[in-house]
Amino acid sequence: MGNLCHFARFDLKPAFRIDLDDLGVRYRKRAREVHPDRFADAGEREKRQVLEESAALNDAYQVLRSAPMRARYLLSLRDGELPLEVTVQDPDFLIQQMQWREELEELQDSADLPALAAFKQRLKAAQERLNDDFELCWQDSARHAEAVRLMRRMQFLEKLNHEVRDLEERLDD
Amino acid sequence: MALLQIAEPGQSPQPHQRRLAVGIDLGTTNSLVAALRSGIAEPLADAEGQVILPSAVRYHADRVEVGAGAKAAAAIDPFNTLVSIKRLMGRGLDDVQQLGEQLPYHFVAGESQMPFIDTVQGAKSPVEVSAEILRVLRQRAEQALGGELVGAVITVPAYFDDAQRQATKDAARLAGLNVLRLLNEPTAAAVAYGLDQQAEGVVAVFDLGGGTFDVSILRLTGGVFEVLATGGDTALGGDDFDMAIAGWMIAEMGLSADIEPGAQRGLLRAACAAKEALTAATSVVVGYEGWQGLLTREHFDGLIEPMVARSLKSCRRALRDAGLEAHEVEAVVLVGGSTRVPRVRTAVAELFGREPLTDIDPDQVVAIGAAIQADTLAGNRREGEELLLLDVIPLSLGLETMGGLMEKVIPRNTTIPVARGQDFTTYKDGQTAMMIHVLQGERELVSACRSLARFELRGIPPMVAGAAKIRVTFQVDADGLLSVAARELGSGVEASIQVKPSYGLTDGEITRMLQDSFQHASDDRDARALREQQVDGERLLEAVQAALAADGERLLDAEERQAIQIQMDELRSLLAGQDQAAIEQQIRRLSQITDAFAARRLDATVKAALAGRNLNEIED
């Protein structure tokens, strides 16, 4: 059971575009069936199994509801595990990255909260575009390299979003 | 007696027996126990009708006093009277030194790094002190419910780390309680509210207690309580408000800050009274040993502003972690006695832009929610009606890596249970052992995180640096407790531990405490035996009463009826007392005198049965 495909756990076919509300409904239904609270009386062995099952379900849910993680997972289903950190050959995006980082530094200095909110909105729009592009190419084996590149871009954006969150926290002091 | 309880074969003489389970709110200032009775969750009262048990323990030379009496003695016997002990749970001696100025106790080192407090009964750990409180609540519950408990749900602040959770579980074990689940306090409060109001949507729970602060953001959907994010501060609460007022008093009186413990307790008590008065009044005259001063609510608000600000900051962080804006929260629930402070209420209302809910007594709501969950876990709920609580870990878990840095393995606010592995490798040729240092916290530097445990993976086959692949797996169960396993993937060499927190008790210490608690066990046994005898007596009375009502006129003459009545009255008066032996004897006496009656009833029943009549027709 532990090796069941993340999508199969929710009776879904592997896809990039998924309805997150529907996924939530499926998750809660499954979680009810395998949560340790329902096995408070069970033997140690069964409890351990349920714990593992429940943890695996939580893990699957977390992967599928995040676009970057879902994209990465889809590619790994086909190509096997992808290394987490690689030197990305993506000069166009590199320039974009540098611009964003500069902006973030300026925002840190200016502590301009409305500008920070606007910046977040732009990152969100960039993520949406990546989602659209990824959807078009991930199933096409001829465009495999492009799909991997888009997935790496998503990962960068995710990291940048974390940095934005950290900045928000620092500015909240 | 057995003969009086005539029942059809296969039919239980008693109504369906619920499995007795309780919810316990083990608080910094006050503790409560609650249970479901006739479908309603309510706190259980002691013999005097008091629901709240002050979390104070006083060690006398020959006995232990828990509750209001102990609390009242805090100023006269400060070294042996332990209050706010929850603040020390799962803490190390170093942490305690930081709190030192506020605590008058004499600390001594034990086998473990846990702080022990020197009392007239010897060194006591915070775990043992908490166990005393839990023991009193367990006895209260067994008295009130009339039987042994299958277990308890014990609440902990959501922001408690692994060491603090372990300490709480150890305390329950010492008190002879089977822990069905450790439940986060804000989640428990959400259960109490959510069930009551059939709520759906996003709810924020703001829980400011005596010594801890939690905030949780939850999504409620059809009986599922999904915690989206939690945040807080395990050293922020009403105690700090008291200390702020006490600090103001000291300054106004021109006293030096170095005050002896008895006076300090006296000051804090006056400060606490002033704080409580300011909930309704806009100013209060504070008196202490001849000195008097006027404290306005406005000034008090100023004194506590830094703490209120800290709590709001935690709320904003939890919102960010949940990916929500304040206005997206559809209901705000206030929990904990300190949310009675008007400034706290207005601050929360401002942040979320809506009036918070306070319908359920903020002191009781956590215990009530815990009781509801205990009922579910004990299996008393019907299929499909069970609640489902999906909680998260409050603080990131990780490992020490090169350069004294913490590498996160499971980030905070990850839904539990969770299992996650991370691969590491050796950094020297021929390296055969590896130290695993488990950490909890949000900071990058190991020194700024809490050290949970260290263990060593040995027997790695010698390889060139970087060739070994060591997978470290973290598993957090539904109580939020961590276990860690490490395994070299090539050779299969394995090491695993149920994380014994660095600040936890050693096995030796637990053994000693368990032995100590056996002394208490005899008291417990007596209390239980009495209660069992009382329950037997009550059942007998009911049975005889029912039998008399059914067949008394028909099968007994007036004299016989009167003789039974006298013995029943006698038993009834004994049941109100504490004399177990006398109750037992009277039960026997009443049974004997009703034996003949029982025999006649049986006879009649058999005759009726032979006549083809149903037993129920006779009983009815």
Known active-site residue B355:
no
pLDDT digits (tens, 9 = 90+) for B181-227: 999 999 999 999 876 556 789 999 999 988 889 999 999 988 899 99
pLDDT for A95: 86
Residues A171 and A113 sit within 8 Å (Cβ to Cβ): yes
| Strand order through the sheet with B433-440 | B405-410, B397-401, B433-440, B450-458
Q: Which residue on chain B is closest to A47 by alpha carbon?
A: B477
B560 catalytic, yes or no?
no
Q: Which residue has the higher pLDDT, A22 or B107?
A: A22
Lowest mean pLDDT among A77-86, A132-141, B283-292, B467-476: A77-86
**Confidence at residue B2, expressed as pLDDT on a 0 to 100 scale:** 36
What's chain A's average pLDDT? 88
pLDDT range class, residue B12, cuts 50, 70, 90:
very low
**Are B161 and B450 a contacting pair, CB within 8 Å?**
yes
pLDDT value at B9 more than 60: no
Secondary element (H or E) of residue B543:
helix B507-547
The residue from B65, B77, B132, B207 that is catalytic is B207
CA atoms within 13 Å, Cβ hemisphere of B188: 36
User: Tell me: the pLDDT tens digits for B388-441?
Assistant: 899 999 889 999 987 788 889 999 999 999 999 888 888 888 888 888 888 888
Given this model, what pLDDT does residue B504 score?
Answer: 55
Counted across chains A and B, CB pairs separated by less than 8 A come out at 64
Q: Which chain A residue lies closest to B380 (C-alpha atoms)?
A: A38
Structural domains present in chain A: 6-65 (1.10.287.110), 91-172 (1.20.1280.20)
User: What pLDDT score was predicted for residue B182?
Assistant: 94
Any A CB within 8 A of B408 CB: no
> In which band, very low, low, confident or very high, does the pLDDT at A80 lie, cut at 50, 70 and 90?
confident
Judge: A37–B388 Cβ closer than 8 Å, yes or no. Answer: yes
Picking from B221, B377, B478, the nearest residue to A28 by CB comes out as B221
Closest by Cα among B347, B314, B304 to B186: B314
Flag whether pLDDT at A62 surpasses 90: yes
CB contact under 8 A, B317 and A172: yes
- Of A102-106, B246-250, B600-604, which range is least confident? B600-604
Closest approach of A125 to chain B, Cα-based (Å): 16
Ranked by mean pLDDT, the top range of B173-182, B379-388, B398-407, B490-499 is: B173-182
Interface test with B, best of A58, A81, A165, A172 (most B CBs within 10 A): A58
* Site from B220, B315, B317, B390 to mutate, A interface, most A CB atoms within 10 angstroms: B390
Question: Smallest CA–CA separation between B221 and chain A, in Å?
Answer: 9
Which residues in chain B have Cβ-Cβ distances shorter than 8 Å to A40?
A: 180-181, 377-379
- Rounded Cα–Cα distance for residues B131 and A142 (Å): 66
The string over B213-249, giving b where at least 16 C-beta atoms fall within 10 Å of a residue's C-beta and e elsewhere, is bbbbbbbbeebbbbbbbbbbbbbbbbbbbbbbbbebb
Identify the top-confidence range among B186-190, B511-515, B555-559. B186-190
Nearest to B371 by CA among B616, B16, B24: B24
The answer on pLDDT for B7 being more than 60 is no
Find out whether B170 and B89 touch, Cβ atoms under 8 Å.
no
Identify the pLDDT of residue B385: 67
pLDDT at A151 over 80: yes
Token pair 């060593």: residue: B456
Interface check for B184 against chain A (CB to CB < 8 A): the answer is no
Residues from chain B contacting residue A35 (CB–CB below 8 Å): 388, 390, 478
Compute CA distances B139 → B182, B388, B520, B527, B528, whole Å. 20, 29, 12, 8, 8
Enumerate residues 425 to 444 of chain B having a beta carbon within 8 A of any beta carbon in chain A.
none
Residues of B in contact with A44 (CB under 8 A): none
* pLDDT band (50, 70, 90) for residue B147: confident
Active site (annotated) includes residue B185:
yes
pLDDT the model gives residue B495: 66
In one-letter notation, the amino acid at residue B557 is D
The answer to whether B453 and B497 have CB atoms below 8 angstroms apart is: yes
Is the predicted pLDDT of residue B302 greater than 80, yes or no? yes
What's the ipTM?
A: 0.89
- The residue among B440, B497, B492, B438 whose CA lies nearest residue B461 is B492
CA distance B553 to B557: 7
Mean pLDDT across chain B, nearest whole number? 84
Residues of B in contact with A172 (CB under 8 A): 313, 316-317
3-state secondary structure of B190: helix
Q: Is B512 helix (H, G, I), strand (E, B) or coil?
A: helix
Does B359 score more than 90 pLDDT? no
Which pLDDT value is given to residue B261?
77
Contact B419 A36 (CB under 8 A): no
Query: Residue B1's pLDDT is what?
Result: 37
Interface check for A55 against chain B (CB to CB < 8 A): the answer is yes
Amino acid at the residue B510: I
Which of A24, A58, A168 is facing B415, going by the closest CB pair?
Answer: A58
Question: Model's pTM, two decimal places?
Answer: 0.78
Measured between CB atoms, which of B389, B419, B475 is closest to A37? B389
The helix/strand/coil state of B52 is: coil
